[in-house]
Homo-oligomer: A and B are copies of this chain.
Amino acid sequence: MPTDNPSRRIAVIDLGSNTARLVLLSAEPGSTYRQIDEIREVVRLRKGMTDEGLAEDAVQRAFSTLSLFKRFCDSRRVDEILAVATSAVRDAANGPALIASVERDIGLSIKILPGEREAYYGVLGVLNEVPVEDGYVLDIGGGSAQVSEVCERRYDSEYEAIKKEVQRQIESVPKAKGKRPLAGLGGTIRNLATVEAERSNYPLNTLHGFSLSRKELVKTIRKLRRLPLARREHIPGLNRDRADIILPGAMVAREVMDRLGVKKMQVSEGGLREGLFHERFLSDQADPIVSDIRAFSVLNLARNYGYDQSHSEQVRHLAGRLFDQTMPLHGYGPEERVLLDAAALLHDLGMVIGYTSHHKHSQTLIEHSGLPGYTPRESALIALLTRYHRKGKPDTSEYRDLLNRGDTKRLTCLAALLRTAEYLERERNSIVADVKVTWDKKHLRISLVAEAHPSVEIWQAEQHAVPLLESVFNLTVVFDSLTPSGTPTQK
């Protein structure tokens, strides 16, 4: 894990209608980031709100919470604070006065976000996690719902609906323009996803990439309607604080899906706060959109766990070379190559926990952290590839429900290539610069290009990687070693 020294600490404060939240992140701008703390307080700003604005009590709650947040930022030596207020303060006549007194008395600058800006940051948080090119983004709050359109991964226009009843919220949702995907953000949608994940024994420990289906949503609605409020909190996965607002939220979600003609919704862990953070984190780019979510999420994970860059890059290089040259034998293509690349960069992640069983720890860490941009199936395959990068017979049974037919064979082939690359880089000194693969009816010949004879690598690869590799291709594996100019190396 990198020390915090080269990093900046950025706090994102979000003064919402119900809750004030502070998220503390450690970031190397443009490179890597991770959350290091979080603090929240229920402020219920809309309680007692009138045309004249927030009630005196509510103002007091906001003021004292923000004062504590500011102290916390000072004590934790935060380099930068990004603070915003949303609908309650925006709608209140005395909102600007509250913000002015917070600035004057606490020294904390808070921006009141216009509705469109709020929607923009929410969409930004989603776009940096979910691969939506063209489609819709739905945010359900307590008594409000927003649907935004996305074109070519850019926030396009927004439609706001803050109404008391579900039906009126829905009326302002645009009619579907053909089949376009839908992504969802916010606590209500995340919680609906958690309920479905619990019910189906979903095998990953993260919602990144989770797809919420209309069919399962209807099951949840039916279950909620059958139970009185007091018993809803016993539904596995349901957040106690949301027991009262989950049913209208679920109904809004269903109606929006029907209106847009979609059968499922991609769930995003990222939203408003992440969008605010990303604008800062990617401030050197014209658009604060991560250009390749998948590549970024793999690298961010690898860097956060202090990966050995040169070793991992070398394993990726060799695994890719083996994959490309054996394509006529295995028949896989770009989709599998992407999984192999990701697993090569992440294979040693578990070393952060300990050397013993580090391949198992790598799997666990990927299950917990998730890989934004990858589907659950792809994440599961990447996790399994790291699991089998050094030993064991590839086994997919724990993720059975996520995988497709043929994935056990796919995993086994990719694991054999990754394992071969790993043992050809056993001394972690990039001694094997390249591989050249040829074959006949009986043999798979792997010529290692190296300045010196890679004895340790051949010994270890023969012992630990060759058995799996031979079983995959049904060929006898033979290694030899050549200098870059093509002459055999001396032992």
Interface residues of A (CB under 8 A from B): 1, 34-39, 41, 67-68, 71-72, 75-76, 304, 306, 351-357, 361, 365, 368-369, 426-429, 431, 455-456, 459-460, 463
Contacts and interface: CB of A to CB of B under 8 A. Distances in A.
Given A1-B1, A72-B426, A353-B368, 13 more contacts: A35-B355, A36-B355, A38-B355, A39-B460, A41-B459, A71-B427, A75-B427, A75-B428, A75-B429, A75-B431, A75-B456, A304-B354, A352-B352
A431 B361 CA distance: 37
A352 B1 contact: yes
A386 to B, nearest CB: 15
Nearest to A77: B429
A72 B353 contact: no
A456 B35 contact: no
A68 B455 contact: yes
Give this chain's copy count. 2
Given A71-B427, A428-B75, A460-B39, A369 B354 contact: yes
Contacts of A72: 426-427, 456
Contacts of A361: 368
A243 to B, nearest CB: 18
A35 B369 CA distance: 25
Nearest to A452: B71
A34 B456 contact: no
A1 B306 contact: yes
Contacts of A426: 72
Contacts of A431: 75
22 contacts: A1-B1, A1-B306, A34-B354, A34-B355, A35-B354, A35-B355, A36-B351, A36-B355, A38-B355, A41-B459, A41-B463, A68-B456, A68-B459, A71-B456, A72-B456, A76-B427, A76-B429, A353-B353, A353-B365, A354-B369, A357-B368, A361-B368
Contact of A354 (B39, B68, B368, B429): B368
A71 B463 CA distance: 17
A76 B355 contact: no
Contacts of A365: 353
Nearest to A357: B368
Contacts of A35: 354-356
Contacts of A460: 39
A34 B429 CA distance: 21
A71 B455 contact: yes
**Residue of A1, A361, A431 with most chain B CB atoms under a 10 A cut-off:** A1
Contacts of A306: 1
Nearest to A23: B355
B368 A37 contact: no
Nearest to A301: B354
A448 to B, nearest CB: 15
A34 B71 CA distance: 38
A198 to B, nearest CB: 16
A204 B207 CA distance: 28
A426 to B, nearest CB: 8
Contacts of A36: 351, 355
Nearest to A206: B356
A356 to B, nearest CB: 7
A71 B352 CA distance: 26
Leading 10 A-B pairs by shortest Cβ distance: A75-B427, A35-B355, A75-B429, A1-B1, A68-B456, A72-B456, A71-B456, A36-B355, A68-B459, A1-B352
Contacts of A67: 455
A62 to B, nearest CB: 14
Nearest to A365: B353
A23 to B, nearest CB: 9
A99 B343 CA distance: 42
A429 B75 CA distance: 7
A459 B68 CA distance: 9
A432 B68 CA distance: 16
